[in-house]
A and B are shown apart, each in its own frame.
Chain A
Amino acid sequence: KQEVTQIPAALSVPEGENLVLNCSFTDSAIYNLQWFRQDPGKGLTSLLLIQSSQREQTSGRLNASLDKSSGRSTLYIAASQPGDSATYLCAVTGSSNTGKLIFGQGTTLQVKP
C-alpha cells in the first residue's frame, strides 16, 4: 500500500530565505507526482506535476525534483515571500495510472515579513 510522508509538518522562515519541502513515498512504482498548494479554507491548487520519467519541473521560483528510485521528491522555493504562506501537499499516482492520487499530510509554511 502506497504511503506518502511529508516532513516537516510545519515550517516558519523569514522572508527571503530559500527553503526545501520534502516528500517521500513507499512504492517507487509511480506514474507521476504532483505538488499542490492549499490556502486556509480553500481548495487545492496544482503547482507542479512531474512525470515518472522526469527528474524535475520548474515554475517561476518553484522547482520540484523527483528521485523515483529512492522514493523522494523535494519542492524548492527560492526567495520566499509572505504570500507563499500556505500548506503544501504532495501526491502520487500509481504506475497503473488509475487516476488515484495518494496524498501526504502536507507541510504548513509560514513566511514572516
Chain B
Amino acid sequence: DAGVIQSPRHEVTEMGQEVTLRCKPISGHDYLFWYRQTMMRGLELLIYFNNNVPIDDSGMPEDRFSAKMPNASFSTLKIQPSEPRDSAVYFCASRSGTSNPRELFFGEGSRLTVL
C-alpha cells in the first residue's frame, strides 16, 4: 500500500484566496483525521470522519474551514478565505476501526504558507 497520500505538499498563497488540501487514506481504513501542526500549538485535531461521516469537528477553528469526505478514498480540507495565521503543516491520517492494534498512519503533510 502507498500509505496516506496528501496533496499538494507545499502551497503558497495570498491572503483571501481559497485553499484546498487533499487526502487519500490507506485503502480499507474507515477513520480519517485532519490535524494541523504549528510551532506554537503543536499538533491539533481539526476534524475526523468515520465511514465518510464527520464525527467531531470541534477542532475546526472557524467557519472559514470546511472538510468533506465524499467517498472512502478521498477527503478535502478547504480554507476560504485564507489568512496568514492559517500558515501551518496540515496532516491527514487514517486508521482501521477493526484491526488491532489501531495504529494511526500519517501522510507527509501539506505545508501551507499564506502571505
Contact surface of A with B, Cβ cutoff 8 Å:
32, 34, 36, 41-46, 49, 51, 89, 91, 93, 97-106
Main secondary structure of the interface of A (DSSP, over half): strand
State whether A99 and B33 are in contact (beta carbons under 8 Å apart), knowing that A46-B104, A46-B105 are contacts in the complex: yes
A100 to B97 alpha-carbon distance, docked (Å): 12
* B4 proximity list for chain A (CB < 8 A): 43
With an 8 Å Cβ cutoff, the count of chain B residues facing the other chain is 24
9 chain-A/chain-B pairs, Cβ below 8 angstroms:
A34-B103, A42-B108, A46-B103, A46-B105, A98-B55, A99-B55, A102-B45, A104-B42, A106-B42
Given contacts A43-B108, A43-B109, A104-B42, contact A99 B101 (CB under 8 A): no
Q: Is the CB of B48 within 8 A of A100?
A: yes
Bound form: Cα–Cα A44–B105 in Å: 8
Which residue of A has the minimal Cβ distance to B101?
A49
Q: How far is the CB of B93 from chain A (nearest CB, A)?
A: 8
How far does the alpha carbon of A89 sit from the alpha carbon of B44 in the complex, in Å? 13
Chain B binding site: helix, strand, loop or mixed by DSSP?
strand
Measured in the bound complex, the distance between the Cα atoms of B108 and A43 in whole Å is: 4
Q: Are B33 and A89 in contact (CB under 8 A)?
A: no
Most A CB atoms within 10 A — which of B45, B50, B97?
Answer: B45
User: When the two chains form the complex, which single residue of A51, A101, A104, A106 contacts B104, counting CB atoms closer than 8 Å?
Assistant: A101
Contact B104 A32 (CB under 8 A): no
**CA–CA, A104 to B41, complex, Å?**
10
Whether B56 sits at the interface, judged by CB under 8 Å, is yes
**Partner among A34, A41, A98, A105 whose Cβ is within 8 Å of the Cβ of B42:** A105
Closest CB in chain A relative to B8 CB, distance in Å: 14
Q: Would you call B107 and A103 a contact (CB within 8 A)?
A: no
Tell me, rounded to whole Å, the shortest Cβ–Cβ distance linking B23 to chain A: 12
Question: Is A89 in contact with B43, judged by CB distance below 8 angstroms?
Answer: yes
**Given known A99-B31, A104-B42, A106-B42, contact A43–B106 (CB-CB < 8 A):** yes
The CA of A102 and the CA of B101, in the complex, are separated in Å by 17
Chain B CB within 10 A, most for which of A34, A89, A100, A104: A100
Distance in angstroms between the alpha carbons of A49 and B115 in the assembled complex: 39
